[in-house]
């Protein structure tokens, strides 16, 4: 069961709040000290104002980007899990498929996005597909490590008890693989947000990526900063959630 | 040329996280020029530290080391020292010949020490003829160590220091290397100080064996080895050899009177 | 080194094997397309090839700008990263600061830096050059810092016993032992510079492979889209490949290194 440490959470929330205020203060001081004109770096108050004024625009675009990333991650998790399970059960299939899997390694968004756009058009589906492809390999690698590494002794124990392969999978391998899944999600998670935004640059669809680009072109500096900060915050949140999940699960499996 | 080695009342202290450790306590060592001496002791007795104090890699807490009257630093700067490490420590991007020439490259043309055997002759002396242009990773451990010995000799050092040079080798290769080293040493005429944890090696190679104990490091006994030179493997079967080994062993493990039966077993083991 | 030694060092097998595989795959794709088996958005290799041959000015007119933008950014980043890395090693107190700074720069996504830099630096190649540099600096920094620490304790003791001066130690030990790590860093950084430049072009550029890609996409010109993807991969791979070749020749002693991240 997942216990939520209330006191710990409020402590971290306060830390975050204080850091944000601290950064804003330094930001303002730097602007004043170096006399930076507002069209290059707007003061924090102006950015905050922009947040408030444009919150529904920001929210709408953020929702697009976030759902593209989330759906893409979901698809690739399902795919990666299935394939990882199959690979762990049959070494022959794993070896035969190795070259194809390696093709996905470090696939750059720059190459994948245009091709997916040819296939799926300008909508959110391209972003989803790009995220799926780019996050597939890290997830698969980590899942494989998890499924294969699952405690040798525990596996052998079940084997001696006459457990079938499926039972081994269920009682030993999958629980052991779970933390590794979260490691993969941590690696793939924040880059999925960024991957979704880069896809938007190519397709021109809605989302934070294009909001950033458009506000830049229209010289709406405060909105630009607001959207950049939003995207960075979302990416950090995803990272924080997946890290926390990973650490939590790793603690159980010492 | 060779120098004598005089270690006078050396103490060495290491400051770690907790209490300071006394690595060496009032150690005295006197090795006449041209002799081959060995230091033997359990792990942690400070024998490697002692060697490094002679080599000016470390400075003593108290006491002094002189090499024919000079400090280790002066001797080192005069390129009078040769050092062979536990691992060959050859530079992997240099061929055997270039590795042996490394001290010459560093010392440059102005050194008076360039007389003596040339790198090519040294390579032949250590038995690596034909491997001059090989890279270290192409050689076995024993061969690499031979190259390291050649390198240590290229500046015709007055003192040759060896830190368990054959520790990583198997017994058979090791005995062969012992003979090789003695042959090379005889040709070079330096004073040699060998740190080892093998009793047989210490007795076989040296004129004097210094036995150390650990915590704190001290010399517990000095054993003279009256075996004639050049040493032969057959000498390892003689009573003289056996007696020396026993005396070293006593020095290491304390003076326990060995009962008659076990002595017989020990003879049969040899 | 002599010419025949160099020829021997070039890993012909490693170069030919993937080329043969690629040839087989392309041949299969060609046949599949002719047979109508491939979806409409996947052209045959011959279509892409004829597109390339029919438009040499397009190809080189875009390949050139991206290549030199990436190269300049990469070169500037290399100079700064190597110097910073060397300083971080020489002055112990700066080690953490330099590493963390490089890491932070590395972590800021192009999404954020490209529009901001466009705002500050205006339109023109300087934005893409800057992004290419920012995207490639970190591996080279890490390579330098790790490389200069690569000499082990025994080797340093050897230099001390031989009374080598500080510059001699640098020349005979520290720099040669750093080379495998430096090359590893340069190798990894090259494709990053290329991809950074291309991604930055998406944010606003009129020339370059990234720009070509966007134009092709907006005009639904499928073969040109694939051509631009091909050019991207070729550019990134050649950056990497050049360093692999140089590394094979310069680092002739057996060292396989992995850069710690």
- Answer yes or no: do C112 and A197 touch at CB < 8 A: no
Neighbouring-strand partners of residue B212: B219
The span from the CA of C23 to the CA of B89, in Å, is: 46
Cβ contact B31:B219 at 8 Å: no
Q: What is the per-residue pLDDT across C198-252, written as a single tens digit (0 to 9) for each?
A: 999 988 777 888 888 888 888 888 888 888 888 898 899 899 989 988 988 898 8
Chain C residues within an 8 Å CB radius of B55: 161
Quick check: A178 pLDDT over 90?
no
Task: Answer whether residue C49 shows pLDDT above 80.
Answer: yes
Contact A118 C217 (CB under 8 A): yes
CA pair distance C81, B106, nearest whole angstrom: 30
Alpha carbon of C92: minimum distance to chain A alpha carbons (Å): 28
| C168 close to B (CB below 8 A) | yes
Decide if C162 and B107 are in contact by the 8 Å CB cutoff: yes
Cβ separation of B91 and C176 shorter than 8 Å? yes
pLDDT reported for residue A160:
76
A203 contact residues in C (CB cutoff 8 A):
217
Interval A126-135 mean pLDDT: 90
CA distances from C73 to C55, C161, C181 (A): 27, 43, 21
Q: Which residues of C touch B79 (CB under 8 A)?
A: 162-163
The DSSP bridge partners found for residue B24 are B12, B217
Q: What tokens were used for A117? A: 């756009």
Report the pLDDT value the prediction gives residue B261, as an integer from 0 to 100.
44
- The yes-or-no verdict on residue C183 having pLDDT over 60 is yes
Mean pLDDT over residues C177-181, rounded? Answer: 92
Phi/psi of residue C44, each to 5°? -80, 155
Burial B120-140 (b: 16+ CB within 10 A, else e): eebbebbbbeebbebbbeebe
Q: What is the pLDDT of residue C169?
A: 92
Which pLDDT score, from 0 to 100, does residue B252 have? 87
Distance from CA of A222 to the nearest CA of C (A): 11
Q: Which residue in the set C41, C191, C198 is minimally distant from A118, CB to CB?
A: C41
Question: Per the structure block, which two tokens stand in for C192?
Answer: 């990053």
Distance from the C183 Cα atom to the nearest Cα atom in chain B, whole angstroms: 15
Query: Out of C154, C164, C176, whose CB is closest to B106?
Result: C164
User: Residue A2's pLDDT band (boundaries 50, 70, 90)?
Assistant: low
**Which pLDDT value is given to residue B256?**
44
Largest Cα span, chain A:
75
Q: Which among B87, B92, B106 has CB closest to C162?
A: B106
Interface of C with A in 95-114 (CB under 8 A): 109-112
Overall average pLDDT of the C63-72 stretch: 92
Set of chain A residues whose Cβ sits within 8 Å of the Cβ of C204: 213, 217
Cβ neighbours of B56 in C, within 8 Å? 160-161
Out of A111, A197, A202, the one facing C232 most closely (by C-beta) is A111
Residues of chain B with pLDDT under 50: 255-262, 266, 270
- Sequence-ordered alpha helix ranges (H) in B82-170: 96-107, 119-125, 141-153
Is A198 within 8 Å of C202 when comparing Cβ atoms? Answer: yes
Q: What is the Cα–Cα distance from B29 to B193, expressed in whole angstroms?
A: 11
Predicted local confidence at residue A143, as pLDDT: 85
Let me know: does B198 contact B181? Beta carbons within 8 Å: no
Q: How many angstroms separate the CA atoms of C164 and A72, rounded? A: 59
Q: Residue A248's pLDDT band (boundaries 50, 70, 90)?
A: confident
- Sign, Cα dihedral of A11, A14, A20, A25: negative
Q: What is the pLDDT of residues A52-76, one digit of tens each?
A: 888 888 889 999 999 999 999 999 9
Give the per-residue pLDDT at C13. 66
Enumerate neighbours of C (3 or more CB pairs within 8 A).
A, B
Which range has the worst mean pLDDT, A174-183, C128-137, C147-156, C171-180? A174-183
- Closest chain A C-alpha to C191 CA, distance in angstroms: 10
The band of A5, judged by pLDDT with boundaries at 50, 70 and 90, is low
Listed as own residue / partner, the contacts of B250-259 with beta carbons closer than 8 Å and 24 or more positions apart are B250/B221, B251/B211, B251/B220, B251/B221, B251/B223, B252/B40, B252/B41, B252/B42, B252/B199, B252/B211, B252/B213, B252/B220
List the single residue in C41, C118, C226 with the smallest CB-CB distance to A216.
C118
Count other C-beta atoms under 10 Å from residue A251's C-beta.
Answer: 9
Nearest to C157 among B57, B77, B136 (CB): B57
Query: Does residue A1 have a pLDDT over 70?
Result: no
Of B77, B148, B165, the C-alpha closest to C160 is: B77
Asked whether residue C28 carries a pLDDT value surpassing 50, the answer given is yes
Per-residue pLDDT, B110: 58
Which residue on chain A is closest to C114 by alpha carbon? A213
Comparing CB atoms, the residue among C154, C161, C253 nearest residue B137 is C253
As for the ipTM of the complex, it is 0.81
Band the pLDDT of C41: cuts 50, 70, 90: confident
In 10 A of CB A95, how many CB atoms? 10
Closest Cα in chain B, distance from residue C95 (Å): 23
Subunit partners of chain B (3 or more CB pairs within 8 A): C
Residue C2 has pLDDT above 70, yes or no: no
Please provide residue B214's backbone torsions phi and psi, each rounded to the nearest 5 degrees: -100, 160
Q: Are A137 and A77 in contact (CB under 8 A)?
A: no
Residue A99 vs residue A143, higher pLDDT: A143
- The whole-chain average pLDDT of chain C stands at 86
User: Do residue C161 and residue B105 have CB atoms under 8 angstroms apart?
Assistant: no
């Amino acid at each position: 069961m997942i216990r939520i440490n209330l006191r710990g959470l409020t402590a971290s929330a306060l830390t975050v709040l204080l850091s944000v205020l601290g950064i804003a203060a330094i930001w303002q001081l730097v602007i004043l000290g170096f006399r930076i004109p507002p069209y290059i770096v707007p003061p924090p108050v102006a950015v905050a104002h922009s947040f408030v004024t444009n919150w529904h625009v920001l929210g709408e675009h953020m929702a697009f980007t976030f759902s593209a990333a989330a759906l893409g991650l979901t698809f690739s998790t399902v795919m990666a899990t299935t394939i990882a399970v199959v690979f762990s059960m049959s070494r022959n299939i794993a070896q035969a498929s190795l070259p194809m899997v390696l093709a996905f390694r470090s696939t750059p968004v720059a190459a994948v996005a245009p091709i997916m756009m040819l296939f799926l058009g300008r909508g959110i589906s391209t972003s989803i597909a790009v995220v799926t492809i780019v996050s597939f390999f890290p997830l698969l690698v980590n899942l494989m490590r998890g499924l294969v590494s699952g405690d040798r002794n525990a596996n052998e124990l079940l084997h001696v008890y006459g457990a079938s392969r499926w039972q081994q999978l269920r009682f030993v391998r999958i629980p052991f693989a779970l933390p590794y899944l979260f490691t993969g999600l941590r690696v793939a998670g924040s880059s999925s947000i960024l991957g979704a935004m880069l896809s938007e640059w190519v397709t021109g669809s809605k989302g934070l990526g294009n909001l950033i680009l458009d506000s830049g072109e229209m010289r709406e500096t405060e909105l630009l900063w607001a959207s950049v900060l939003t995207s960075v915050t979302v990416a950090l949140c995803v990272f924080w959630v997946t890290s926390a999940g990973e650490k939590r699960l790793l603690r159980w499996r010492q | 040329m060779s120098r004598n080695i005089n270690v006078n009342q050396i103490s060495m202290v290491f400051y770690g996280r907790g209490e300071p450790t006394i690595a060496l306590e009032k150690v005295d060592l006197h090795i006449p020029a041209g002799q081959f001496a060995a230091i033997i002791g359990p792990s942690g007795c400070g024998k490697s530290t002692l060697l490094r104090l002679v080599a000016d890699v470390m400075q003593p807490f108290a006491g002094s080391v002189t090499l024919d009257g000079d400090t280790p630093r002066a001797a080192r700067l005069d390129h009078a020292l040769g050092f062979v490490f536990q691992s060959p420590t050859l530079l992997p991007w240099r061929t055997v010949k270039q590795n042996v020439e490394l001290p010459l490259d560093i010392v440059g043309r102005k050194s008076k020490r360039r007389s003596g055997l040339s790198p090519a002759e040294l390579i032949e002396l250590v038995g690596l003829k034909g491997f001059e242009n090989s890279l270290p990773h192409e050689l076995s451990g024993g061969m690499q160590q031979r190259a390291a010995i050649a390198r240590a000799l290229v500046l015709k050092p007055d003192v040759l220091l060896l830190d368990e040079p054959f520790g990583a080798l198997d017994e058979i290769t090791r005995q062969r290397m012992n003979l090789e080293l003695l042959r090379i040493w005889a040709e070079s005429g330096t004073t040699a100080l060998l740190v080892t944890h093998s009793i047989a090696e210490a007795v076989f190679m040296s004129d004097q064996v210094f036995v150390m104990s650990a915590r704190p490091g001290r010399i517990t006994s000095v054993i003279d080895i009256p075996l004639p030179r050049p040493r032969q493997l057959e000498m390892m079967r003689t009573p003289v050899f056996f007696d020396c080994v026993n005396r070293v062993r006593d020095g290491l493990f304390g003076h326990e009177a060995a009962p008659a039966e076990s002595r017989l077993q020990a003879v049969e083991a040899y | 080194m002599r010419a025949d030694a160099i020829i021997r060092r070039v890993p012909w097998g490693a170069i030919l094997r993937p080329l043969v595989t690629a040839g087989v795959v392309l041949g299969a794709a060609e046949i599949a397309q002719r047979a109508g088996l491939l979806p409409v958005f996947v052209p045959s290799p011959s279509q892409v090839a004829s597109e390339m041959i029919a438009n040499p000015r397009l190809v080189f007119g875009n390949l050139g700008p991206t290549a030199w933008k990436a190269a300049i950014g990469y070169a500037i980043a290399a100079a700064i990263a190597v110097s910073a890395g060397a300083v971080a090693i020489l002055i112990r107190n700066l080690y953490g600061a330099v590493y963390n700074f490089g890491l932070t720069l590395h972590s800021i996504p192009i999404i954020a830096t490209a529009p901001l830099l466009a705002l500050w630096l205006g339109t023109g190649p300087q934005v893409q050059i800057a992004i290419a540099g920012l995207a490639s600096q970190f591996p080279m920094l890490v390579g330098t810092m790790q490389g200069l620490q690569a000499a082990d304790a025994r080797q340093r003791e050897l230099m001390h016993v031989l009374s080598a001066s500080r510059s001699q130690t640098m020349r005979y030990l520290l720099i040669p032992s750093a080379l495998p790590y430096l090359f590893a860093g340069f190798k990894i950084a090259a494709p990053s510079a290329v991809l950074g430049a291309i991604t930055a072009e998406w944010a606003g550029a009129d020339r370059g492979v990234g720009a070509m890609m966007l134009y092709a996409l907006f005009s639904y010109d499928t073969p040109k889209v694939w051509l631009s993807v091909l050019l991207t991969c070729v550019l990134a791979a050649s950056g990497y490949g050049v360093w692999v070749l140089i590394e094979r020749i310069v680092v002739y002693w057996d060292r396989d290194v992995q850069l710690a991240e």
